[in-house]
Structure 1
């Protein structure tokens, strides 16, 4: 007798609505998706027709809910009359303040001191709460990191570095961490790019960073919170050290150029 294989029902992003107050139920579902970091800012929503089909509601009820979401500033009009998730987190720091941080290494180090606690906490929670999907997301990013490292592609390595830490925070399933990390995205990205730009041994450092990311991923996927937390702290400690080395290299180069100019300007042969 052949055993009949049952097909798994795919999980839909939006769930059908069964509620007397249909618009309120739609709004609540959107708010939950946004809070949980599932619908991220800038995400384009399906057409009104497709949304109504997924939610199994009438289009007038859907429009009523979308109006409420727009009034609350959670969605906005996108290109071609579409709707999208509004910019909610914004940057924790203005572009001018980010650039100010980048010009003052001590400010960047203060930020990394804060991130050490944040990343450690996120990794600990991720080791306790990560789902199969979270673990798959982390390992997929690590695979891409390995390829980028082999190709010495610093730009892709930088973007994947940010993606990895965002994925760890997502795996923590802590709503506040998810949105706080998103608000610091630009500072983290520019800080990493600056770090790699001025490191004299950038390839060696990139290899160590990859190993550290692999260690964090391994501990999270193994469900070891203490080890995951320690791996995250070790990683940020190394980033702080490499940032200091990068700044020292920049200062040495600046002083060497000044010495060269001084030798040319004040050489006895020029008198």
Structure 2
């Protein structure tokens, strides 16, 4: 479904603007649903993803970052995009580069006073999930009632994109594309705007961290797909109560997954102090 950018070339001058990643055959509704609320470039997303992973403790102090080639493969971007992101991390003091050895997370990275620590980051992510539990079940309810055939096709397309998401990939907007398509199907722009407000926490706080942390990833992906599929089938059947219940179940399970993983991250960060 998605056009794959030329990645990992030695110096491939691929633009880091988001539109270059869209296949021309992608339906307009899907393209619109994947637009970032703050129009962040790919470089911004890579930088913010790595920044959050460092601050959450997923990438621990002193650890060597994956190579440029590995990062551009995981994020599906070009080397220039990765290099710009790494340069910003160096300027902020979060990483240090050693000639011939690569880039390493700075020993003092987590102690940077201007940024939130792991507990605050986890709290923000859980707060976003709490907010979603008060919004998205109703969006699914109304999507089951109001969705058009085009809306259903967009939801189905997003579900299929998630199913095909490969283990280890970091295509961060595939998950939220599914939820946003449902919000659009509810025919109420307030639901869409509500998701846009917290898209950063959804994309970077949960999805990217999950992609770069390999532990149990395949099983987690299978479970999340099954939860998404139940929501889709209820909307397809135009069963609003079942759609609402399936969304509640999915978000509650997401909260459990994030809590379990996040508590381990916080524990590791305290042990390292």
TM-superposed CA distance for 1:170, in Å, is 0.3
TM-superposed CA distance for 1:228, in Å, is 0.4
1:77-226 equivalences under 5 Å are 100=116, 103-104=119-120, 105-148=122-165, 151-156=166-171, 158-192=172-206, 193-198=208-213, 200-226=215-241
The alignment yields a C-alpha RMSD, in angstroms, of 2.8
Unaligned segments of structure 1, at least 5 residues: 1-36, 44-98, 259-271
Matched residues in 2 for 1:196 and 1:153: separation? 5
Larger radius of gyration, structure 1 or 2?
1
Contact kept, 8 Å, 1:127 with 1:225, in 2: the verdict is: yes
Contact kept, 8 Å, 2:133 with 2:251, in 1: the verdict is: yes
TM-superposed CA distance for 1:251, in Å, is 3.8
- CA gap of 1:42–1:190, structure 2 versus 1, over 3 A, is closer
String of CA shifts for 1:213-269, please: whole Å, max 9, x gaps: 1111111111010000011011111111111111133245446667xxxxxxxxxxx
Unaligned segments of structure 2, at least 5 residues: 1-31, 40-114
The reply to whether residue 238 of structure 1 matches residue 253 of structure 2 is: yes
TM-score, normalization: structure 2? Answer: 0.53
Q: Which one has more relative contact order, counting CA pairs under 8 Å at least 6 apart?
A: 2
Matched residues in 2 for 1:101 and 1:178: separation? 29
Higher helix share: 1
Number of residues of Structure 1 aligned to a counterpart in Structure 2: 163
